[in-house]
Chain A
Amino acid sequence: MSEFALTHAWLIPLLPALAFVVIGFFTRLDKSISAKIAISMISVSFLLALGVLAAVISGPITMDNPLIQKVLWAKMGTLELSMGVLVDPMTAMMLIVVTTVALLVQIYSVGYMEHDPGAGRFFAFLSLFASSMLGLVISVNFLQMYAFWELVGVCSYLLIGFYYYKISAREAAKKAFITTRIGDFGMLLGILLLQITFGTLDFMELKELVPAYIWISGTGFMTVVGLLLFIGPIGKSGQFPLHVWLPDAMEGPTPVSALIHAATMVVAGVYLVGRAYFIFSALPAVMTVIAWIGGFTAFFAATIAITQRPFKRILAYSTISQLGYMMLALGVGSLTASMFHLMTHAFFKALLFLCAGAVIEAMNEEADIFKMGGLRHRMPTTFKCMAVGVLAIAGVPPFAGFFSKDMILAAAAEVSMPLYLLAAATAFLTAFYMARLLFVAFFGEVREDCPAHETNSYMRMPLVVLAVLAVVSGAWGHFAGFGEWVYFGAVQEEHIDFMIAGSSVLLTLIAFALAYEIYVAKRFSAHLLAQRFGILYTLSYNKYYVDEFYTIVRNTFVDKLGAVLYWFDLHVVDGVVNGLAKGVGCLSCVFTALQNGQAQRYVAVFYCGVIVLVAYSVFCAVRILNLLGGAF
């Protein structure tokens, strides 16, 4: 079984694609059949992924000797583009994460999309996304990765804009695509530079070539390449300054937010850096940049999350913040920690989002947490799951977040103190705003006009499963030795630095207590605090005006400049053309004006010609005579 799965790993992305085709062409209009097709396909993929995992755990495959299959995709001249499958533990882990979350989210969607006429389309897009994401995960070379990278981008575009009749949704989708596109531009440049430098884009070949190159000709050029490559992840994983699209992306249906904008697609950036770690890890400058961008993003997003009101937006900023964590981990050189956190985060963030979906649906699309309250009485299961998620993300032992976050903090502490402090502060903020979310939405007394009710079983089942995963995955990873398994270079031994762990847990508890005091016990009023920190509060509440800044930039450097150039096109380039035409016309006027109908004028002109020609003849005659030397 597991051997079959390993050799047929290419089936994993192909099956959902098949589902997309079938649904798209035939069963688009029948939502139940479409759902069945999509779910069955993804579950087969899930089983295959399990098989791959088993094979990887048992078999000889390690990070250093992966399994590779390739097919030629396009060939021109010396350039050969190929597609294929690369299976190593990291891939296996990602396959599991993606297929699991995708499967659960699709099951959840059956309930969530019950009343939406476009459900068929929804499942088609979900399947397409799943297949692209899986294709991205198993890429063998940068080009394949870039291709699927773009594809997942488009899927997210389609799914964010799923409610295409909502102006906000369509704009959010556009924003997401363009913003990530800016990242892709840099990444594409990096890929092209790699291609012309090494003549190949294959990960395994580059793994051999790059260190040799750096050893010979220094890091200068490769640093540029590395930075360019890193722009892609910045865009895709919502790192500062290209994070602006992710919060808006919450316009999409909640399952989409859970699957794409929390669990899978947004971590593609992290995955890319991990995949190309043999480049980055050799470039200290780039590593520093990654680390700091990650750290800063984590903190920055957390500070925004504190003051937001809509349920999903808080989660979105927390996602950005967590992605920052992962980047930070990569930057400080711990691939293992990053990947570990990626996995745990995928589970508990998906859980949180699905809970959010349930809540918002129960509240009839009311997203503002301050309009909720006391939901724990109405939606006990959801509340329990939510609580698990919050504890997990806050890093309370023994929940998943604790282990992964601890590993990151430890790694950061090893490298630089400032980064560690930043991370720790972020941990504190995270705990605080998650607690705030939980307390405000679920505690307190129920409002009388609250329509909330427990959701249907389709939506409850995935919550429970994810909650379980959010509890166990961390411990499992820690004790089953995630570290011997996904690593770069040498295996780094695992230990819990009780100093760090203890302090972070302490911070978390303080944050919880604080949040409890403010939002449940109401010892201090939130408004007072807001006024106390006036400037900071406004800044944070308005997301530091980054969006406004971008708007200004776009208006001036795109629209205004475009208008100017178009004016130039109309009046200069085209003006020259029309001007020439007019000029010829005027010339025609002038000439024909000579033709005044007077016969004698004609004769006169005629004889002018005669005189000219006779003069010419005389001139020639004189010349000839001079030639003959005056023979007369």
Chain B
Amino acid sequence: MNFWAVSTEIFILVIMTVALAVDLVLPKKETRRGIGYLVISGLLAALVYTFGLYHTGPSMTFFDGLFLEDNYALFFKQLFILGMLFSVLFSLDYVEKNIKSPGEFYTLLMAALLGMCVMASANDLLTMFVGLELMTVSFYVLVGQRMDVPDSGEASVKYLVVGAGSTAVMLYGISLVYGATGSLDFAVICRSIQMVFSIGLAGIVLVMIGFFFKLSVIPFHMWAPDVYQGAPTPVTALLAMGSKAAGIAVFMRALYAAFPLLGGYWIPLLAVFAAICMVGGNIMAIRQTDVKRMLAYSSIAQAGYMMCGIASADAAGMKAVLFYAMLYVFANVGAFAVLTCVEVYRGGTTHTHLTGLAQSAPLLAAVMTVSLLSMAGIPPTAGFSGKMYIFTAAVERGYLWLAFIGFLMSMISVYYYLLVAKAMYRDLTPEEETANTAFRIPFGVRATVLLSVIATVGTGIYPELLAMLTNLASQTFMR
């Protein structure tokens, strides 16, 4: 039992328990802000620590291979931790203001993070399932954390109902795969010839559907807009970055490690769904006025882009996906930090709430614009490099039409991203002018947005660093 392999998870577990304990010992009326700082520092340490775990040799394993701590997993864990770190950082005020019991909130966040990390290094269906459910169930609760807003509860219920259904489907799929191969271990499944028969194939699609739900792929996406809109903004951010990225992580591992021989079976499937996502997501996002909801639809489209990378099924594609997932985190952090700040001060995230932001808080407006453009893939933001990576891989695989749809749709997406920019930058009517009061940007938010925008533009102009990291991650996995 090599406990170093699970050291990251243990680290996170410790943070979680400490947060819980502190929450219990603190007197009731005492502010829980301290816990936030505690979590932040802990996550920072964890982030730094994980860098030490990158390796070139054989990867550490746990539970004789059920749990694999390779660079691929590490990359994603860092991604989760980064996302979580920033979300906590920019939502300190938000939590204090809107969340009834912050202690539990932070604890649950850590639980979700733990689930993600487990997923990232899951090397068999059981571990995967457990990690997935740990994350999902925590999110059910997190989504419902705003007691003052009915939408929050509604979102939570919808998430639960649809999510439970998808869990059932996935579990059923796992059972079929198990039935076909007699094992839950990716390695064994990969070797088994039985997969090619109907049970196995049905099992694979059902498992894939489970992930499609997490990635909110059309037509398994219907929960996403409502949940994104209803959930507390930081949670929405985490749903967009963490939950999705975790899904991607384990999805790719499952496809490449467990079902590589059936590539001819699932690659076209992915390609088609990627196209559907890119088209549908972007088109549906056009008419949204609530930015959170719009981002939900755009996240559907983003899932489509990433699936293009998965569909190309080679080192280049995987690296592209890793790259994209990371820059998507940067972009989301920026956007949601701004949204959180705006919601704290103006009590909403619709276009009208964002109006005149360019005068009252130029920094926020600029960051919002840059982040959205990064999602749209406009240079010099990172999104452009990411799209180049992804679509280059796709075209090389022979999916020119996919790349074409992708580029076209990302240009269409600029339209609704620019609508947000328009709301922020357009000149105001006199009464708006008076209503548009400048507001103090808390330090957390300021730091977050600056870091995120630097990361976005920096990666866009000089992608080399992130590219090297992704190479490391993808190659050790692909061998």
Bound: A610/B173 CA distance, A: 11
Q: B412 an interface residue at 8 Å Cβ cutoff?
A: yes
Most chain A CB inside 10 Å of its own CB: which residue of B169, B201, B209: B201
Choice from B196, B208, B284 contacting A592 with Cβ under 8 Å: B284
Once bound together, how far apart are the Cα atoms of A585 and B209, in whole Å?
29
Q: Once the chains bind, are B222 and A595 in contact (CB under 8 Å)?
A: yes
CB atoms of A616 and B219 under 8 A apart: no
| Residue numbers in A under 8 Å from B284 (CB-CB) | 588, 591-592, 595
State which residues 281-296 of B face A: CB under 8 Å. Answer: 283-287
Is there contact, CB below 8 Å, between B197 and A621?
yes
* Residues of chain A contacted by B162 (CB below 8 angstroms): 599, 602-603, 606
Q: Given A610-B169, A617-B204 in contact, is the A584-B283 Cβ separation under 8 Å?
A: yes
B226 interfacial contact with A, CB 8 Å: yes
Q: CB distance A609 to B287 under 8 Å?
A: no
| Contact, CB under 8 Å: A617 / B283 | no
B222 touches A616 (CB 8 A): no
Enumerate chain A residues within 8 angstroms of B285, measured Cβ to Cβ: 588
| Nearest CB on B from A631, distance (A) | 9
Q: How many B residues have CB within 8 A of the partner chain?
A: 34
A599 touches B161 (CB 8 A): yes
A588-B220 CB under 8 A given contacts A616-B269, A617-B204, A618-B198: no
Tell me, yes or no, whether B158 is within 8 Å of chain A by CB: yes
In the bound complex, CA of A610 to CA of B287 (Å): 28
B158, A616: Cβ atoms closer than 8 Å:
no
Complex Cα distance, B161 from A613, in Å, reads: 21
- B178-206 vs A, CB cutoff 8 Å, 1 = contact: the mask equals 00000000000000000011100110111
Q: Which residues of B contact A592 (CB under 8 A)?
A: 284, 287
Q: Decide if B223 touches A602 in the complex (CB within 8 Å).
A: yes
Once the chains are docked, how many angstroms separate the CA of A584 from the CA of B279? 11
Is A603 a contact partner of B165 (Cβ separation < 8 A)? yes
Q: How many residues of A contact B (CB 8 A)?
A: 32
- The verdict on B225 contacting chain A, using a C-beta distance below 8 Å, is yes
Interface centre among A591, A622, A625 (most CB of B within 10 A): A591
Known contacts being A602-B162, A606-B165, A610-B209, is A618 close to B202, with CB within 8 Å? yes
Residue B265 CB within 8 A of the other chain: yes
> Which residue of the partner chain, among B165, B198, B212, contacts A621 with CB atoms under 8 Å?
B198
Report Cα–Cα, A624/B197, bound state, in Å: 8
Known: A609-B220, A617-B202. A599 touches B157 (CB 8 A): yes
Choice from A584, A606, A610 contacting B206 with Cβ under 8 Å: A610
A513 CB-CB contact with B under 8 Å: no
**Is A490 at the interface (CB under 8 A from chain B)?**
no
Across the interface, do B201 and A621 meet the contact criterion of CB distance under 8 Å?
A: yes
Bound complex: CA A600 to CA B204 (Å): 25
CB neighbours of A622 from chain B (8 A): 198
Asked if A629 is at the interface (CB within 8 A of a chain B CB), the reply is: no
Encoded as 1 (CB less than 8 Å from any A CB) or 0, chain B from 385 to 399 comes to 000000000000000
**A421 — which chain B residues lie within 8 A by C-beta?**
none
Q: Are A587 and B283 closer than 8 Å at their CB atoms?
A: yes
Report the separation of the CA atoms of residues A613 and B217 in the bound assembly, to the nearest whole angstrom. 13
Residues in A whose Cβ lies below 8 Å from that of B286: 584-585, 588
A605 to B224, CA, bound (A): 13
Which A residues are in CB contact (< 8 Å) with B115? none
**Is there a chain A Cβ closer than 8 Å to B103's Cβ?**
no
Across the interface, which residues of B come within 8 angstroms of A595, CB to CB?
A: 222, 225-226, 284
B102 interface residue per 8 A CB criterion = no
Roughly how many angstroms separate A622 CA and B202 CA in the complex, as a whole number?
A: 12
Distance of B42 from chain A, by nearest CB (Å): 36
Q: How far is the CA of A610 from the CA of B220 in the complex (A)?
A: 9
Inter-subunit contact A616/B205 (CB<8 Å): yes
The answer to whether B283 touches A606 (Cβ under 8 A) is no
- Which chain B residues numbered 51 to 74 have a C-beta less than 8 Å away from chain A? none
Q: How many whole Å from A93's CB to the nearest CB in chain B?
A: 67
The answer to whether B198 touches A601, judged by C-beta atoms less than 8 angstroms apart, is no
Contacts of B232 in A (CB 8 A): none
Contact yes or no, B280 A605, CB < 8 A:
no
Q: How far is the CB of B408 from chain A (nearest CB, A)?
A: 11
- Judge if B328 is at the interface, Cβ distance under 8 Å: no
- Determine which of A589, A605, A621, A628 lies in contact with B222 in the assembled complex, contact meaning CB atoms within 8 Å: A605
Q: What residues of chain B lie closer than 8 Å to A613, measured between beta carbons?
A: 205-206, 208-209, 269
| Cα-based distance from A592 to B283 in the complex (angstroms) | 9
What are the 4 A-B residue pairs with the smallest beta carbon separation, nearest first?
A621-B198, A602-B222, A617-B201, A609-B219
